Amino acid sequence: MMNLESPRQRERVTGWLLLVPALVLLVAVFAYPIGRAFWLSLFTENLGTQLEPVFSGLANYGRLIGDGRFWQSLWNTTVFTTVCLALELVLGMGIALVLNQAFFGRGAVRTIALLPWALPTAVMALAWRWIFNDQYGVVNDILRRLSLIGTDITWLGDPTRAMMALIVADVWKTTPFIAVILLAGLQSISRDLYEAHSLEGASPLQSFWAITLPLLTPQIMIALLFRFAQSFGIFDLPRVMTGGGPAGATEMVSLYIYDTVMRYLDFGYGSALVVVTFLLLVVVVAIAAIILTRAGIDVAGDNR
Amino acid sequence: MKHDPDPADANSFQSFVRRANQIRLRRLKLPYLLGFVAALLLTLVSLSRPALTQEPVNLQIFLRALEATQMAPFAADFNAANPDIHLEMVEAPNTTTLVEDLYTSAFLLGDSPYDLVFMDIVWVPKFAAAGWLLPLGDRITEAKLNDYMDKDVDGGRYNGELYRMPFRSDVGMLYYRTDLLEQGGFAPPDTFEEMVEISQALQGTGDADWGYLWQGLQYEGLSAMFVEILEGFGGYWVNPDTLEVGLDRPEAIAAVEFLRNTIESGISPPGVVTYAEEEARRLFQSGEAIFMRNWPYVYSLAQESGIQGKYAIKPMVHQPNEDSGACQGGWGFGIAKTTPHPDEAWRVIEYFSQPEVQKQFVLETGYVPSRRSLFTDPDIVATYSFMPDLLNIIEQAVLRPPIAQYAQASDILQRYLSAALTGNMSAEAAMNAAARETRRLVETPESAAAQLEVQGAA
Amino acid sequence: MAIAQPQSQPHDTREKSTPSKPGPSKQPINIRAIVLWVAVVLTVVFCLAPVFWQLLTSFKTNDAIASVPTVYFPSPDQLTLSHYTELFARRPFLFYILNSTFVAIVSTLLCLALGAPAAYALARLPIKGGGILLLVVLFVTLFPYVLLFLGLLEVVRAVGLANNYLALIVPYTAINLPLTILVMRSFFQQLPKDLEDSAKMDGYNTLQMLWYVLLPMTLPALVTTGILAFIFSWNEFIFALTFITRDVMRTIPVGTAQLGSASVFEIPYGPYAAATVVGTLPLVALVLIFQRRIVQGLTAGAVKG
């Protein structure tokens, strides 16, 4: 029997009691599906096998290596993630710098700047589809009025332009997230540093490079890490806005996985796709975590 | 604030707890309020769920918003004549693949809300192989099925069992401009070569801007179009019996090269690789092209355009020694295996299978019938004069491979065809890759494992 | 009570200080001010334009929607409410709203009920391997939940939760848990330790103390994390698409994305726009009311410098 008389012992038991419900839920919703995917990926379970699992070793992975569509979707996802992150960082930094200034109505602007982040992506994707419509879309109309284009541009019908439209929509949606995090970082930088620096004759731009950017590195890294994970798994935006088209040019890994399972009923292969994507993600996050730790940034927020 | 001691300075803990409790009482109302709202909502939601216990049997069918509108009067007639059944049409989006995916999720998840399935012909093998459909063979005699087009019935079978009753048919065909051909002194072409020659001759004299229009966009219509060209070249896609893949055979590569050449030689507009049915139809109706591959729906629409009375239809062109190919499409009814009311569902199908109902539907919509007799029905011919011609074409129709993995096979083909047609890959490289991926798709796990071993040993 | 300041840092004085200090001479201040205002206007336009455009579209007649050149500000005869009425007449849109609200509220409450005690345990109680648990929780925060649907689909089928609100509530709760735990934990850590010591001296056990003393004090934090969880649940798409196939049980994002039109070649942009407005209105309200709390939650969850 455990000695429940010792207060420390009792606290330990209470602690676990408090933790267990949350942990059980996390295991059930996160650990089980991923573990299950590892197991299922060793089987062929599709319409060819009447949806019965048949052990096939690493055959799914062999198929994956030669699967042009998977590699294309991985490439699409990489391009999308990279461009989005770069644009969002620059824009988010700009907005954070603006919101960090004092001006009349700052509170209202901060609220407005948060709005895109809070709205449902799937619903706003429909709005973007309308905005980029080739005949009646407002983007083409503005470009026409500015005489930048003579004929209508088919934004969502061309591989490159569809990707651009998708990136615009995502940048709009998630820049506020980065801006908010960078703003928090900016607020923790002491003004004295800037004042001292400007007394030495430095311009605001020089101060930005010499003070703001280095001191903001932790926030930048963490914002990028979060956004990388979200952007790598993006689903609702391309699904509703372009459906992965045209010609698969905006098909992301998540869309391909969804199609493989929900359209082709290829569960074994879909599991292999989940596993590979999961491992890729773990590798990137691990590398980022190592870099963050080396840089002395406490990711876990452990103040102890 | 003066009378409110700062918590940090509170020397009596009791007083602090009392204060905290007051805060709790005041503040914790929010969660209670939220809980109350949640409970209220739950009651509302559960109350407003239709209570159907004593009412007629409710049957749900899911179809595209357009079809739901077209069928609504028939459903109303059915409901009026059958007070014990209520047929409810749930509107789906208009994209076919999206409807397929939504049906798929519903059946995959279990607890499908749909009792009846309104099916495109290419869904049948997948839905049947997955075990989502009720076999219909014991509900109808072969003699009655003989009233329908053979391919329409065949397309509803999987492994010899019938899962879909045909309702309306569809078939690909060649539209041509009778006035332009007459003017140049040409007979309607039978072979690819003749079509190319006529096009170049008439384009050369400036009588037409474009020779041949087809669907080159990456979507299901591309596969349907290609099946016809492939058949005309004597090739095949997937043999449903042996699961042999023919996409990298010389005939298939020649078929792709033919399509690619129509663009390169200026017979087809460069934009044809972004055309679906509608883009091709609009350009053809504007009078700028001589030939077009399309479905029958164009025939009646084009009567209201500038080319009225100046066009005709015929079976697709082909290589001199090969057969003409016409891609079989069409829609029909199936019964979901999970439905608690299969007999009532069958009564719905019986209603929609009646010759009079199908005739009325064809008259009102201009769709192609599935019943052979309707093609020559005087009333229908009076409205749609092309129907008898269509019968000749539809008798030669070819099915897209009736394999369970069709959706995936078609996506593979579309992707590589698109790559070849836009010039991103050579025809040979694209078809080799498509064949390789299709083989990997249709092969059994055993053969896959064997193949992997061979690769490993090499 | 300054407890609602998870990111409170020693240098956090900038927000309160008056900002017009920098700038050595008068001339640059003016340029600065102009640049600043241009930037502010650009920010506002960037953030609001798509929403505003959708709002305008939702009130325009079909003719005005599909007119070239585009009608920006519709004249009175181009205004209509028909897209809104169509939304509720042709589709069970009211159900979509009720479903979304119900699922989001329940999963938010569940998430707080499970997350807050766990966060307290991780913050204060002697848990062996607590550090590792925390790392795991952090990794899960980053996890793209798209990868879970295949496995969860099996579970949902096995347990018979198809077309059941629980099939959404449980995953939403779990997905929101990691962030809730991280944020709540940092709040708990900032509470003075003396409080618990004296509560114990007064004979409260840990659970009583948590319920009667600590939770009331962390109410601001609960609201903060609760709003984040609510927004996520309201917006979630892939599970709502996969686990609910009954039309009257759909949530707003899925219901909106699947609106159809009575003509094949016409996309129902008017109803789409109306649905956008109706579906986003609650969130706009939340952002307007709780902007500060949302920012606190986001930064507390993501940033620990």
> Residue A54: closest CA among chain B residues belongs to which residue?
B445
Looking at residue B4, its pLDDT comes to 43
- Half-sphere exposure for B34 (CA within 13 Å, toward CB): 20
In sign, the C-alpha dihedral spanning B67, B69, B70, B72 is positive
Q: Is B444 on the interface with A (CB under 8 A)?
A: yes
Distance between first and last Cα of chain A? 32
Q: Which of A46, A57, A248 sits opposite B415 (nearest CB)?
A: A248
Q: Which of A91, A184, A198 sits opposite C22 (nearest CB)?
A: A198
Q: In Å, how far is C11's CA from the nearest CA of chain A?
A: 5
**How confident is the model over C248-252, as a mean pLDDT?**
91
Residue C12: both structure tokens together: 């956090």
Q: Which of B7, B41, B94 sits opposite C261 (nearest CB)?
A: B94
Which whole-number Å values give the CA distances from B451 to A65, A267, B243, B458, in the listed order?
14, 21, 16, 11
Give the residue among C173, C179, C182 at the shortest CA–CA distance from C233. Answer: C173
The Cα–Cα gap between C7 and A188 comes to 9
**How confident is the model over B165-170, as a mean pLDDT?**
93
Instruction: Assess contact for B363 and B380: CB atoms under 8 A.
Output: yes
Instruction: Tell if the CB–CB gap between B106 and C245 is shorter than 8 Å.
Output: yes
Instruction: Tell if the CB–CB gap between A49 and B444 is shorter than 8 Å.
Output: yes
Residue B233 confidence (pLDDT) above 90: yes
Which whole-number Å values give the CA distances from A42 to A35, A73, A228, A269, in the listed order?
12, 22, 29, 9
Q: In Å, how far is B394's CA from the nearest CA of chain C?
A: 24
Contact list, A57 vs chain B (CB under 8 Å) = 449, 452
Q: Which of B27, B45, B69 sits opposite C102 (nearest CB)?
A: B45
Q: In Å, how far is B448's CA from the nearest CA of chain A?
A: 7
Confidence category of residue B250, pLDDT binned at 50, 70, 90: very high
Instruction: Tell if the CB–CB gap between A263 and B129 is shorter than 8 Å.
Output: no
Instruction: Assess contact for B203 and B258: CB atoms under 8 A.
Output: no
Instruction: Assess contact for C231 and C280: CB atoms under 8 A.
Output: no
Instruction: Tell if the CB–CB gap between A30 and C148 is shorter than 8 Å.
Output: yes
Comparing A190 with A2, the larger pLDDT belongs to A190
Instruction: Tell if the CB–CB gap between C216 and B28 is shorter than 8 Å.
Output: yes
Looking at residue B116, its pLDDT comes to 95
Looking at residue B441, its pLDDT comes to 84
**How confident is the model over A224-243, as a mean pLDDT?**
88
Write down which chains contact chain C via at least 3 CB pairs under 8 A. A, B
Contact list, B404 vs chain A (CB under 8 Å) = 47-48
Contact list, A144 vs chain C (CB under 8 Å) = 69
> Residue B410: closest CA among chain A residues belongs to which residue?
A264
Instruction: Assess contact for C118 and A22: CB atoms under 8 A.
Output: yes
Looking at residue B5, its pLDDT comes to 40
Contact list, B408 vs chain A (CB under 8 Å) = 263-264, 266
Rounded to the nearest 10 degrees, the angle between the axes of helix C269-302 and helix A213-232 is 130
Q: Which of C101, C212, C261 sits opposite B17 (nearest CB)?
A: C212
Looking at residue B241, its pLDDT comes to 84
The Cα–Cα gap between A262 and C117 comes to 37
DSSP B60: E
Instruction: Report the share of chain C in percent with pLDDT over 70.
Output: 86
Q: Is A65 on the interface with B (CB under 8 A)?
A: no
Write down which chains contact chain A via at least 3 CB pairs under 8 A. B, C
Instruction: Assess contact for C231 and C286: CB atoms under 8 A.
Output: yes
Q: Which of A51, A59, A264 sits opposite B445 (nearest CB)?
A: A59
Looking at residue C7, its pLDDT comes to 40
Residues 6 or more apart in contact with residue B258 via CB below 8 angstroms: B192, B229, B233
Q: In Å, how far is A117's CA from the nearest CA of chain C?
A: 9
Say which range, B153-167, B388-402, B403-417, has the weakest mean pLDDT.
Answer: B388-402
Beta strand B326-335 with B397-398: parallel, antiparallel or unpaired? parallel
Instruction: Tell if the CB–CB gap between B49 and C248 is shorter than 8 Å.
Output: yes
Instruction: Assess contact for C52 and C46: CB atoms under 8 A.
Output: no
pLDDT tens for residues B410-451?
Answer: 999 998 999 899 888 899 999 999 999 899 888 765 555 555
Q: Is A41 on the interface with B (CB under 8 A)?
A: no
Would you list the DSSP string of chain A?
---TTSHHHHHHHHHHHHHHHHHHHHIIIIIHHHHHHHHHTTEE-SGGGTT--EE-TTHHHHHHHT-HHHHHHHHHHHHHHHHHHHHHHHHHHHHHHHHHS--TTHHHHHHHHHHHHHS-HHHHHHHHHHHT-TTT-HHHHHHHHTTS-SS---STTSHHHHHHHHHHHHHHHHHHHHHHHHHHHHHTS-HHHHHHHHHTT--HHHHIIIIIHHHHHHHHHHHHHHHHHHHHT--HHHHHHTTT-STTTT--HHHHHHHHHHTT--HHHHHHHHHHHHHHHHHHHHHHHHHHHHTT--TT----
The Cα–Cα gap between C79 and A59 comes to 60
Write down which chains contact chain B via at least 3 CB pairs under 8 A. A, C
Q: Is A76 on the interface with B (CB under 8 A)?
A: no
Instruction: Tell if the CB–CB gap between C182 and A301 is shorter than 8 Å.
Output: yes
Give the residue among B339, B347, B351, B352 at the shortest CA–CA distance from B115. Answer: B339
Looking at residue B346, its pLDDT comes to 95
Beta strand B397-398 with B289-294: parallel, antiparallel or unpaired? unpaired
Instruction: Tell if the CB–CB gap between B452 and A58 is shorter than 8 Å.
Output: yes
> Residue B50: closest CA among chain C residues belongs to which residue?
C248
Residues 152-171 of C with CB under 8 A from A: 152-155, 170-171
Instruction: Report the share of chain B in percent with pLDDT over 70.
Output: 85
Average pLDDT, chain B: 85
Instruction: Tell if the CB–CB gap between A19 and C302 is shorter than 8 Å.
Output: no
Give the residue among B16, B21, B27 at the shortest CA–CA distance from C212. Answer: B21
**B89: three-class secondary structure by DSSP:** strand
Confidence category of residue C8, pLDDT binned at 50, 70, 90: very low
The Cα–Cα gap between A101 and A104 comes to 10
Looking at residue C6, its pLDDT comes to 40
Contact list, B442 vs chain A (CB under 8 Å) = 48
Confidence category of residue A278, pLDDT binned at 50, 70, 90: very high
Phi, psi of B86 (to 5 degrees): -120, 110
Which residues of B lie inside 8 Å of C (Cβ-Cβ)? 7-8, 13-14, 16-17, 20-21, 23-24, 27-28, 30-31, 34-35, 37-38, 41-42, 44-45, 48-50, 64-66, 69, 90-94, 98, 102, 105-106, 108-113, 278
Confidence category of residue B43, pLDDT binned at 50, 70, 90: low
Q: In Å, how far is B38's CA from the nearest CA of chain C?
A: 6
Other CB atoms within 10 Å distance of the CB of residue B450: 13
**B205: three-class secondary structure by DSSP:** coil
Q: Is B305 on the interface with A (CB under 8 A)?
A: no
Looking at residue B433, its pLDDT comes to 92
Residues 6 or more apart in contact with residue C179 via CB below 8 angstroms: C141, C225, C228, C229, C297, C301
The Cα–Cα gap between C61 and C81 comes to 8
In sign, the C-alpha dihedral spanning B186, B189, B194, B198 is positive
Comparing A34 with C10, the larger pLDDT belongs to A34
Give the residue among B61, B63, B58, B87 at the shortest CA–CA distance from B75. Answer: B87
Task: Please compute Rg for chain C using Cα positions.
Answer: 24
Looking at residue B33, its pLDDT comes to 64
- Half-sphere exposure for B60 (CA within 13 Å, toward CB): 18
pLDDT tens for residues C49-58?
Answer: 999 988 988 8
Looking at residue C260, its pLDDT comes to 64
Q: Is B101 on the interface with A (CB under 8 A)?
A: yes
Say which range, A21-30, A54-63, B35-44, has the weakest mean pLDDT.
Answer: B35-44
Instruction: Assess contact for C269 and C57: CB atoms under 8 A.
Output: yes
Looking at residue B1, its pLDDT comes to 38
Confidence category of residue C252, pLDDT binned at 50, 70, 90: very high
What is the model's pTM? Answer: 0.83
- Half-sphere exposure for C64 (CA within 13 Å, toward CB): 18
Q: Which of B218, B404, B436 sits opposite A66 (nearest CB)?
A: B436
**How confident is the model over C204-223, as a mean pLDDT?**
83
pLDDT tens for residues C125-174?
Answer: 888 888 888 888 888 888 888 899 999 999 999 988 889 999 999 999 99
Give the residue among A131, A135, A231 at the shortest CA–CA distance from A178. Answer: A231
Phi, psi of B23 (to 5 degrees): -60, -45
Instruction: Tell if the CB–CB gap between A124 and C280 is shorter than 8 Å.
Output: yes
Confidence category of residue A207, pLDDT binned at 50, 70, 90: confident
Q: Is A46 on the interface with B (CB under 8 A)?
A: yes
Question: Does the structure's ipTM exceed the value 0.85?
Answer: yes
**What is the greatest pairwise CA distance in chain B?**
111
Instruction: Tell if the CB–CB gap between C295 and A184 is shorter than 8 Å.
Output: yes
Instruction: Assess contact for A185 and C303: CB atoms under 8 A.
Output: yes
Confidence category of residue B11, pLDDT binned at 50, 70, 90: very low
Say which range, C14-28, C80-94, C152-166, has the weakest mean pLDDT.
Answer: C14-28
Instruction: Assess contact for C296 and C222: CB atoms under 8 A.
Output: no
Residues 6 or more apart in contact with residue C12 via CB below 8 angstroms: A187, A188, C5
Looking at residue B32, its pLDDT comes to 65
Instruction: Tell if the CB–CB gap between A63 and B104 is shorter than 8 Å.
Output: no
Residue C29: both structure tokens together: 């201040």
Which of C125, C137, C176, C236 is most worth mutating to test chain A (most A CB atoms within 10 A of its CB)? C125
Phi, psi of B131 (to 5 degrees): 80, 30
Instruction: Tell if the CB–CB gap between A263 and B404 is shorter than 8 Å.
Output: no
Looking at residue C293, its pLDDT comes to 80
pLDDT tens for residues B316-326?
Answer: 999 998 888 88
